[in-house]
Amino acid sequence: MFSEEQIERYSRHIILKEVGGKGQKRLLNGKVLIIGAGALGSPAALYLAAAGVGMIGIADSDVVELSNLQRQIIHHSGDLGIAKVESARQKMEAVNPDVKVNTHQLWIGADNILEIISNYDFVIDGTDNFAAKFLINDACVMAGIPYSHAGILHFIGQTMTILPNQSPCYRCVFPEPPPPNTIPTCSQAGVIGVLPGVIGSIQATEAIKFLLGVGELLTGRLLVYDAEELDFQTVPFDRNPNCPVCGDNPVITDLRDEPEAMNVCDLV
Amino acid sequence: MKVTIKLFAGFRENRFRVEERDLPPGFTVADLLRELGINEPELGVALINARHVLPGQELHDGEVISLFPKVGGG
């Protein structure tokens, strides 16, 4: 049963026929993990909290730095030096006290990822390096947990939703991380601050649609957004039978960290 | 054959944003990457007329090819 306050708070959802009281209940019972409380994670966390997603996990090992604030909108100037997960928790709880926030202040690695993601219905990849992106893909595929991939750089962003063993995974499209030092980091190449607002919000949209069971997810297609030309392209992809993780004869059957593929936006 | 090449993000650096080039018949995406000095592992997606293609794909007259690097930021 909803409280009077909840009926008022979620009224614009409840009057949508695609949501209704039933859908809002699903959101309140939903569990979403956001890995990375950075540029992509900020809008995703705020929108999921506002929407009333009942349990939101947020994982990040960093503290808030001044150079984050141009794009990581969940962190404020008064948060410098505090753990990003703590800063994010405070904002999410301030937006919506209905939300239970689990903070994971740690580096997500091969040794802990499966245990952490197993508590959630959907995962949002808001990380800033290829090692984490490949690890999240492999772990979610192995555990059968749906997730939203995204990456940003310069003025371009991309995102794609993965339903393990039903839709193409990140490795179907990108089998291997790029060799070290071939791709500039965000700190070398820069990133326009509003870009992750668009992409992270799309990731939150996908999480909410998944929990509600409405619409078409961004599966089997990669959305590429060019903010400079304001151009969106959705590029269809098929599952790759030779995919090293979800193909017919997977060669990746254990999780491993790929530290050589680290491409950290904030720490470099 | 004339092909329009669009580059994105860091691929533009010391190159161009968009350029039309006259290429010999049978020229592939991999040939183009070599000519542009882009290492294949840096390539995220190559699109010809908005369809995803692999580096072995041949280019044809009048096509537009877009080259995006891998993007790992977040």
Name the residue among A150, A173, A184 with its Cβ closest to that of B10: A184
Q: Which residues of chain B make contact with A182, given a CB cutoff of 8 A?
A: 39, 41-42
CB-based burial, A88-118: b 16+ in 10 Å, e otherwise: bbbbbeebbebbebbbbeeebeeeebeebbe
Residue B18, min C-alpha distance to chain A (Å): 12
Task: Report the helix count and the strand count for chain B, using DSSP H and E.
Answer: 1, 5
* Number of domains, chain B: 1
What CATH number is associated with residue B53? 3.10.20.30
User: Is residue B25 assigned to a domain?
Assistant: yes
Residue of A140, A169, A172, A186 with catalytic role: A186
State the residue range of the domain holding B46.
Answer: 2-69
Contact A235 B47 (CB under 8 A): yes
The reply to whether A202 touches chain B by the CB within 8 Å rule is no
User: Is residue B74 assigned to a domain?
Assistant: no
Lowest model confidence (mean pLDDT) among A39-53, A78-92, A130-144, A170-184: A170-184
Residue of chain A nearest B38, judged by CA positions: A182
| Model confidence at A218: pLDDT above 80 | yes
Q: What is the pLDDT of residues B28-67, one digit of tens each?
A: 999 999 999 999 988 999 999 988 999 999 999 999 999 9
From residue A97, give the alpha-carbon distance in Å to each of A49, A94, A204.
9, 6, 19
| Model confidence at A51: pLDDT above 50 | yes
Strands laid side by side in the A122-125 sheet: A100-104, A55-59, A31-35, A122-125, A147-153, A156-162, A221-226, A231-236
Q: Which residues of chain A make contact with B72, given a CB cutoff of 8 A?
A: 128-130, 133, 151, 153, 178, 183, 263
Q: What is the pLDDT of residues A59-116, one digit of tens each?
A: 999 999 999 999 999 999 999 999 999 999 999 999 999 999 999 999 999 999 999 9
Name the residue among B9, B39, B73 with its Cβ closest to that of A182: B39
User: Does the annotation mark A186 as catalytic?
Assistant: yes
Residue A14, min C-alpha distance to chain B (Å): 32
| Residue percentage of chain A with pLDDT more than 90 | 88
**What domains, with CATH codes, occur in chain A?**
4-236 (3.40.50.720)
User: Is residue B62 assigned to a domain?
Assistant: yes
Residue A9, min C-alpha distance to chain B (Å): 30
Q: What is the pLDDT of residues A34-48, one digit of tens each?
A: 999 999 999 999 999
Tokens coding A127? 């990380």
User: Is residue B59 assigned to a domain?
Assistant: yes
User: What is the reported pLDDT for A187?
Assistant: 66
Q: What is the ipTM of this complex?
A: 0.85
CA distance A17 to A174: 38
Name the residue among B41, B47, B52 with its Cβ closest to that of A178: B41
